[in-house]
Homo-oligomer: A and B are copies of this chain.
Amino acid sequence: MMSKSVYPTINAERLWQRHVDMAKLGATNGGGVHRLALTAEDIQAHVLLAQWAQAQGFSIALDPMGNMFIRREGTDPSLPAVSSGSHTDTQPNGGRFDGITGVLTAFESLETIHEASIETRYPLEAIVWNNEEGARFIPACMGSAAYAGMADLDDALARKDTQGITMGACVADLAKALPQAGHRELGAPIASFIESHIEQGIRLETSGNIIGAVTGMQGYRRFVIQVIGEDAHSGTTPRARRKDAFVAATDMTHALRDILWDDQDEMRYTIGRFEVLPGGTSVVPGEVKFFIDLRYHDKKALDELAIKIPKVCEAHAGPCDVNILDALAVDPMEFPEEMVANVEAAAARHGFGHERMYSYAGHDARHIARLCPAGMLFIPCWKGISHNEAERAEPEHIAAAAQVISDILIDRATS
């Protein structure tokens, strides 16, 4: 056994090549990746990871929620795993790094430690959380939430995509594609969890640091607003007799802009999904369904706004009816100091410029923090562009992330 004081160097070239290989699964013409959760492309990504894992002799397990665990055994079989990971799914026409970098740096760490023949007391795991993006199945971070007991398994498996396919059917497809996978219970103990991710902002790019030690994560709220009017002929129906769902819905989104405005520009109010039905050019639309995505660091303010949002929507419904689903409420959270310090120490050891920072995006580590000490690190992301085909991260920054993760896994698994 090597001394713990020697931290093996990760294989940056292999790590980058793995990104290149993964980016082929769901590659878009615009240079991005379109790999929605547990589509054929995403299942291919799981299978490819499993092949790499088995080439190293690591085992594979799936839990009933479709989360995947790649495991290198430790010397004490009674201990839970020291783990790292993220997700393989992307946004529609998303990028090549969001999620997959956290999976591949975790896997690279396992390979590095394995090839350096370092024995660990704790087993090591690289974890792929299912349906992080929430782009195909609502809500986001479904896999980690179900694992952490924050979401009901049966409810999650019953969720349908826009074509009516259930998450349960997709998880069955994944299991079929990985017949060699063992079984993992939901909520089974984890010793610790560290997730690396692109920042999806410009703070590291601006400061010149390459590692962000994440201290906490903003909370968010999601609402689904269904505005019901009445289809009508656009030429013959006077304004006074219309029940125009588009007019009502955009009156709502405008009014929400006023109450969700902060001078500090820290509140994040987004309408990214807005569907107008039936969608004919000459039909006054009888229905609009839209999704409110609101994020903020202040729990009290979020709670107050969550009460105001339905009232504002109702007040601007005009002649239409409105149904409001309070779809998701996640409070702001903080990571334990020991994990933040782990990241800082590993970054300092290798001379990587680093700083503490807050996360404005939601990540799986939020849920896993309920089960065990959890933390995150960020690396720079070109111009902060993410959820976009143009998303870019540098090979040397990804390598730095893997090095920090590898160091932390060694420290925690051999302690």
Contacts and interface: CB of A to CB of B under 8 A. Distances in A.
A138 interface: yes
Interface string A202-231: 100000000000000010101000000011
B231 A388 contact: yes
A133 B282 contact: yes
A387 B233 contact: yes
A232 B386 contact: yes
A268 B283 CA distance: 11
Copies in the complex: 2
Contacts of A102: none
Nearest to A264: B238
Contacts of A195: none
Contact of A286 (B285, B293, B386, B388): B388
A280 interface: yes
Interface stretch (A64-72, A246-254, A299-307): A246-254
A387 B280 contact: yes
Contacts of A152: none
Nearest to A32: B231
A19 to B, nearest CB: 19
A371 interface: no
A133 B283 CA distance: 10
Given A281-B273, A388-B286, A240 B254 contact: no
A395 interface: no
A199 interface: yes
A29 interface: no
Interface in A37-68: none
A373 interface: no
29 contacts: A91-B278, A91-B282, A92-B279, A93-B278, A133-B280, A135-B281, A135-B283, A222-B281, A231-B389, A232-B384, A232-B386, A233-B386, A233-B387, A234-B268, A234-B270, A234-B295, A236-B360, A241-B384, A244-B270, A250-B250, A271-B285, A272-B276, A272-B282, A273-B280, A275-B276, A282-B293, A282-B387, A283-B387, A283-B388
Given A133-B282, A134-B281, A140-B281, 7 more contacts: A133-B280, A201-B236, A246-B271, A270-B284, A272-B284, A273-B276, A275-B276
